[in-house]
Structure 1
Amino acid sequence: MYDIFCAIVLGIIEGLTEFLPVSSTGHMVLAGYLLGFEGEVATTFKIVIQLGAVIAVLLLYWNRYMAILKDMIAFKFSAKNKLNAIHMIVAMIPALLVYLLFKDLIKHYLFGPSTVLIGLVAGGILMIVAARIRRAVTAENSDDISYKQAFGIGLFQCLALWPGFSRSGSTISGGLLLGTSQKAAADFTFLISVPVMLGATVLDLYDSRDLLTSDTLLLFLVGFVSAFVVAMFAVVTFLNLIKRLKLEWFAIYRFVVAAVFFIIML
């Protein structure tokens, strides 16, 4: 019963933090540390339930995804003034390749509170640097993003494989450094989040299939539903917030969380 309680709490945390550049995985790792919810099952749980929040993005961007799919079926891949499937594919490839090559090392060594604190601080520094030395904007909205920028954002997304860095924080920072507006980077970040998280979840469930029992499946389902329900209420407000609020404010929050948990761990 306590595990179910933990699943609900972590699902709520995931739903609230997935759309902000503060690292939802990092928050779940830290919360799991406080709750004593750790181990192989907990690590897989923290990866899988992110899909619950990401499906909220799928619903929000449903028409956009359908338009991209329609253009892909019709082989319409013009890079000029039209974001298409190729943008998404080149942005997804780097992180998926790195995850495939190092997923065991990532799960074994990086899913701990100490490494999360490092990620929170390092990610916060990256966000401040990106906000301060951002390049002149060449992509005002996501349809203006070039293939080169999409691939560059995908490279920055690899940093998010370190819990605490944050996928949205890393990719938005990358977008700013590559010449996109914060709004364009945020839109693109959430557009590619669905296929990336879907791929990561399927791979992780396959690798962890020996851990899947009726009890663990119930945990995953409870966490998934909790994350989805909370995310449905939070998604629009938080997406608007991330497009407008300066990255420095999120960086300060990350530093505060890292400092508090550093004191707790001492």
Structure 2
Amino acid sequence: MTEQTIYLLKALFLGIIEGITEFIPVSSTAHLLILGSWIDFSSGDAKVFEVVIQFGSILAVVWIFRARLIQLIMGTLRGDRTEMMFTRNLLIAFLPAAVIGALTIQYVKALFHHQIVFVFTLILGGLLMLWVERKPQYAKNTSEANQGETATSQKATAFALEEITWKQALVVGFAQCVAMVPGTSRSGATIIGGMLAGIQRKTATEFSFFLAMPTMLAATVYDLYRNGASLSADQGTAIIVGFVAAFFSALFLVKAVLRFVSSRTYRPFAWYRIALGAVLFVWLMT
């Protein structure tokens, strides 16, 4: 195989990893950068590849929830109070990361080159998840699972999401700002932030999915605007390959994640984060 073919196969592999890890609280960025380093995948100093292919995963959510999104858009345009409140909450949760991210993106990207940062964020994030899951309201399975609701029920999704208050949405928004630190996990930070604000686990997960849409779209457009001209032809092709792979792998994972959180806690992911952080620390030290 040629060097270019091997390079694109590496991009394909990382795209699959992105789709698998984007919607579980284990940090897709950490996996992309760590595994990319281990397989000697060069994405350039700007790390555009890692940012842009995440939007491929987000498009999978757009496709899965397309009917709900159309309902949200049309309801907001018609002035439906419920849909307008949901849209308001998404905007409130989106704005903190949009403003702070635009101001600090260069400093945040500098952290991508220091893998020791991932050790601390992975382990601390795992410990925080364990602490939150020990709270009485999350210690048992969610009531949705006991009532036999399915994760794909659009009616159940709409009913749960419309109960979120603007204050809870704001907490989730600031939690998303914390997720700009590599290894934190955007989905993990927003889900745990929502749970700390009093939102049930499944609803917090669904809100995190919807919030990812404007957030990752903005990040993708901004990053391509800032760094697109400096990309080589090989890097541009790798982004396309990784983007498509992320879309299709995420397409099969999203519903599984919702089914999982309907009846189980995030403890397995917390322990996984701690174990991965420990392995990474040993690898860096040796």
Q: Residue 31 in 1 paired to residue 35 in 2? A: yes
* Counterpart AA for 1:220: I
Distance 1:141 1:220 in 2: 36
Q: Structure 2: state its 5+ residue gaps.
A: 143-158
Describe the SS at the equivalent of 1:129.
helix
Q: Which amino acid aligns with 2:53?
A: I
Residue deviations 1:172-229, cap 9 Å, x none? 1111111110011001000111111011100011110232332221011000011111
Q: Does 1:215 align with 2:234?
A: yes
The aligned amino acid for 1:263 is V
Asked if 1:164 is matched to 2:164, the reply is: no
CA contact (8 A) 2:191 2:201 kept: yes
Residues 39, 223 of structure 1: CA spacing in aligned structure 2 closer, same or farther, 3 A cutoff? closer
Does the Cα contact within 8 Å between 1:134 and 1:179 map onto a contact in 2? no
Number of residues of Structure 1 aligned to a counterpart in Structure 2 = 263
- Which of 182, 206, 218 aligns to 1:187? It is 206
Alpha-carbon RMSD across the aligned residues, in angstroms, is 2.2
> Equivalent pairs: percent with the same residue?
34
CA-CA distance at 1:38 after TM superposition: 4.0
| Structure 1 residues not aligned, in runs of 5+ | none
**Is 1:60 matched up with 2:64?**
yes
Q: Which residue of 2 aligns with 1:143?
A: 162
Q: Distance in 2 between matches of 1:179 and 1:256?
A: 28
Residue by residue, what CA displacement relative to the aligned partner does 1:44-84 show, whole Å, maximum 9, x if unpaired? 100100011111100111111111111221233458xx852
Amino acid at match of 2:207: F
TM-score norm. by structure 1 comes to 0.91
Matched, 1:206 2:225: yes
* C-alpha distance after superposition, 1:7-28 (max 9, x if no partner): 1111010011111111111111
1-structure distance, mates of 2:220, 2:277: 27
Q: 1:241 aligns to what?
A: 260
The Cα offsets for residues 74-95 of structure 1, whole Å up to 9 and x where unpaired, read as 233458xx85211110010111
Matches within 5 A, 1:1-150: 1=4, 2-38=6-42, 40=44, 43-78=47-82, 84-133=86-135, 141-150=160-169
Q: What amino acid is the match of 1:71?
A: G
Q: Does structure 2 retain, via aligned residues, the 8 Å contact 1:20–1:242?
A: no
Q: Cα offset for 1:239?
A: 2.7
Q: Which has the higher contact order (CA 8 A, sep 6+)?
A: 2
TM norm structure 2? 0.85
Are residues 40 and 243 of structure 1, via their aligned partners in 2, closer, same or farther at CA, if it must alter by over 3 Å?
A: farther
Distance 1:42 1:36, change over 3 A: farther
Larger Rg: 2
